[in-house]
Amino acid sequence: MDGEIRTVGIVGAGQMGGGIAHVAALAGFAVTLYDVTQERAEAGLAKIGANMDRQIASQKISEAEKAEALSRITAVSDPAAFSGLDLVIEAATEDETVKRKIYREICPLLDEKTILATNTSSISITRLAAATDRPERFMGIHFMNPVPVMKLVELVRGIATGDETFEAARTFVTKLDKTVTVSEDFPAFIVNRILLPMINEAIYTLYEGVGSVESIDTAMKLGANHPMGPLQLADFIGLDTCLSIMQVLHDGLADSKYRPCPLLVKYVEAGWLGRKAGRGFYDYRGETPVPTR
């Protein structure tokens, strides 16, 4: 590698991994999309195809661009396919133990020069870097959900991240037609440090009976001009992800103002994880979402 990124591996073919593969393939990068089973990796690829169909319907891309982009993505369940790639972005479940296990498994398979990045929403980049064999070539590249729609990417350096790594990541993200903001490595970075306490407060508002799901979301949409209500947004992000970000803020900043709402904990314990599970603050199993409270 001459410092320029041409080939990209992605760990996790879920909402975010799929979204990153989607935009990278459309921008002309060769993408290797990896998940724990071939079935999950293929399901991620199928979802990308379906999301591209929506972009065709709204005339953002053509059939030919879709076909070309899909042909650049290889779905795999063997991380050995990461050998020789310029950049690998880990977008697996927001759980530090899971991420550490992945780094232990994949680092020996990567080239010495390969840059390893994480899409974590909240976990310390410096601490994750220390669990790899390449802290100078490790950093945070934090995409927003849904990746094909959202313009922002937060770049986060760990204490050891090298300038070359940072610049290669900046160039890569710019080629995806995204705008970069740079955040220091503190819990949840910039966007989620501000957004998640608001969502958590909306859940407290529901928990304390101040308003129903519908009143809270309508209040923030029409009263604060937010495009989506906070509970709708929580379902969209995934309630497990929301809870884990609040836990990271609570543990990392040791301030009780970040205490996760017990109702959020209860929804996660019930497996009501939001849109991806078919149920969260809304029930998505019918034609239109119905509030669950």
Check if 121 is active-site.
yes
CA dist., res. 44 & res. 40, Å (int)? 6
**Helix 191-207 × helix 239-253 angle, to 10°:** 110
Do the beta carbons of residue 157 and residue 185 sit within 8 Å? Answer: yes
DSSP 107-169: GGGS-TT-EEEE--SSS-HHHHHHTSS-GGGEEEEEEPSSTTT--EEEEEE-TT--HHHHHHH
Residue 44 or 135: the one with the smaller Cβ distance to ligand NAD is: 44
- Is 154 designated active site? yes
145 binding ligand NAD? (CB under 6 A):
yes
Minimum Å gap between C-beta 160 and ligand NAD is 20
Strands 152-157 and 179-183, bridge-based pairing: parallel
> Minimum distance from CB of 4 to ligand NAD (Å)?
25
Q: How many residues sit in the footprint of ligand NAD (CB under 6 A)?
A: 28
CA proximity to 157, closest of 132, 130, 121, 182: 182
Task: Kindly list the distances between the CA atom of residue 39 and the CA atoms of 14, 46, 91, 285, in Å, as whole numbers in the listed order.
Answer: 12, 10, 17, 23
State which residue, 15 or 200, has the beta carbon closest to ligand NAD: 15
Whether 244 sits among the annotated catalytic residues: the reply is: no
Of 142, 183, 200, 244, the active-site residue reads 142
**Measured from the CB of residue 73, what is the shortest distance to ligand NAD in angstroms?**
15
Length of the chain, please?
Answer: 293
Residue window 46-85: x/- pattern of binding to ligand NAD, with contact defined by CB under 6 A: ----------------------------------------
190 near 155, Cβ under 8 Å? no
Nearest Cα neighbor of 38 from 67, 93, 79, 92 is: 79
Task: Identify the residue whose tokens are 């071939």.
Answer: 38
| Residue 94 interacts with ligand NAD (CB under 6 A): yes or no | yes
239 forms part of the interface with ligand NAD (CB under 6 A): no
> Known catalytic residue: 22?
no
Q: Which of 121, 122, 124, 183 is catalytic?
A: 121
Tell which one of 40, 66, 137, 178 touches ligand NAD (CB under 6 A): 40
Phi, psi dihedral angles at 70 (to 5 degrees): -65, -35
Q: Which is nearer to ligand NAD, 7 or 121 (CB)?
A: 121
Q: Verify binding: residue 200, ligand NAD, rule CB under 6 A.
A: no
Only one of the segments 45-53, 116-124, 159-167, 209-217 lies at the binding site for ligand NAD (rule: CB under 6 A); that segment is: 116-124
Catalytic residue annotation: 121, 142, 154, 192
Site for ligand NAD, rule CB under 6 A: 11-17, 34-36, 40, 91-94, 98, 102, 119-121, 142-145, 237-238, 241, 276
